[in-house]
Amino acid sequence: MKPAALLDTARWHPRIARLYRYWLSIHPAAGGLPGRRHFDPVDIPELLPGIWLLDVQHSPFRLRYRLVGTGIVEAVGREVTGQWLDEAHPHLGNDATFLERYRQAAEQKRPEWRKGKPRLWVHRDFGEIENLLLPLARDGATVDILVALTVLYRPDGSNA
């Protein structure tokens, strides 16, 4: 399933737009969403430090860090690969709005873009983040992984 309408990436950081174009390019010809088998890190090596993959559990809805790039580990302040998102960041436990973007990406099978204040990151050199969530589905329909790319912005507007 290709997105009904392409998203306008004009305001996006070039790395975020690059991942989105790559995700569009790996959609199976027969239709449906791409799966993890279509996503090859060798195709996007320059993006890997900011990439993170989340395993999606639907009932109840939970997310587990499957893979976390080195830039994200630094920003989070510790290694979180293999941990559930709610356990890795217990301060978000009562924030129902936080998971809504992730749920939308998984249930609606569509990308979710955001730019704003960080909510997971502890790195004090960054005042703003931009990220993109992209759904992957092993069977082409049921989202089982979310691929994310985050760009961190310093207070002067430059990014890492």
Instruction: Find the CATH number of the domain harbouring 113.
Output: 3.30.450.20
Domain encompassing residue 52: 14-39+48-153
Q: What one-character DSSP code corresponds to residue 37?
A: G
* 134 in a structural domain: yes
Residue 70 lies in a domain: yes
- Tell whether 59 is covered by a domain: yes
Q: Record the tokens describing residue 112, joined without a space.
A: 């979710």
62-108 tens-digit pLDDT? 999 999 999 888 888 889 999 998 888 887 766 667 889 999 999 99
Note whether residue 22 is domain-resident: yes
Q: Which of left, alpha, beta for 127 (phi over 0: left; psi -120 to 50: alpha)? A: alpha
The total of structural domains in the chain comes to 1
Are residues 76 and 52 in contact, defined by beta-carbon separation less than 8 angstroms?
A: no
pTM: 0.90
pLDDT at residue 2, rounded to an integer: 44
